[in-house]
Amino acid sequence: MATTQPVYESVLRQALGLPDDQKAQLLEEILQHELGSAAENKRPFLEKLDEALARLKARMRPGVTAQEDPASLQTPGPRRRPDPAPAMEWLRLHGKDYGGQWVALDGNRLIAHGPDAEKVYAAAEADGAYLPLIDYIEPADALPFVF
């Protein structure tokens, strides 16, 4: 929204100008506030906030500089792959209810489902979850598969 942009930029400049310990305190307060009112669909945002807070705290540790700390904001390493086990377990328990559909899962959270793969993928991207598991579930009455 155009009218709030200058306010946002001003707040951002002030926040970025804070010393690291005050930035960490600010992030902590935002995280706690969001956790207090979090709906399940806020999880990706909360995870990113938590990661940012952890990186900032790591940077503040005595003797650790931004270059030395692999978790630094300046040099983020490759992200860890999500554990597929919760999604696999969800599929084992609930997959049969979604026969003939594509599903997108963030762990054991169903992000989207439907017969159109493109729409399910678009919904997963919009959700913001990191590397959701996306797969097609065969209909219960499908003939046995032979390639």
Partner 1 sequence: MIPMPELSFDVTHIYDSTDGVRIPLVISCGGKEVQTRGYVDCGAEACIFSNEIGRMLNIDIEAGEPKSFGPASGGTLHTYGHMATIEFLGITLESIVYFAKYPGLRRNLLGRNGWLSKLRFGLVESDSAVFLSHLT
Site for partner 1, rule CB under 8 A: 81-82, 84, 87-88, 92, 102, 117-118, 121, 131-136, 138, 142, 145-147
Q: Which is nearer to partner 1, 56 or 137 (CB)?
A: 137
Please report how close the Cβ of residue 81 comes to partner 1 at its closest, in angstroms.
6
CB of 37 to partner 1, least distance (A): 30
User: 70 or 99: whose CB is closer to partner 1?
Assistant: 99
Burial of 106 (0-12, 13-18, 19+ CB in 10 A): buried
Shortest CB 87 distance to partner 1, Å: 7
Residue with Cβ nearer partner 1 (33 or 119):
119
Encode the chain in three state secondary structure: CHHHHHHHHHHHHHHHCCCHHHHHHHHHHHHHHHHHCCCHHHHHHHHHHHHHHHHHHHHHCCCCCCCCCCCCCCCCCCCCCCCCHHHHHHHHHHHHHHCCEEEEEECCEEEEEECCHHHHHHHHHHHCCCCCEEEEECCCCCCCCCC
CB of 89 to partner 1, least distance (A): 9
- Whose Cβ is closer to partner 1: residue 2's or residue 146's? 146
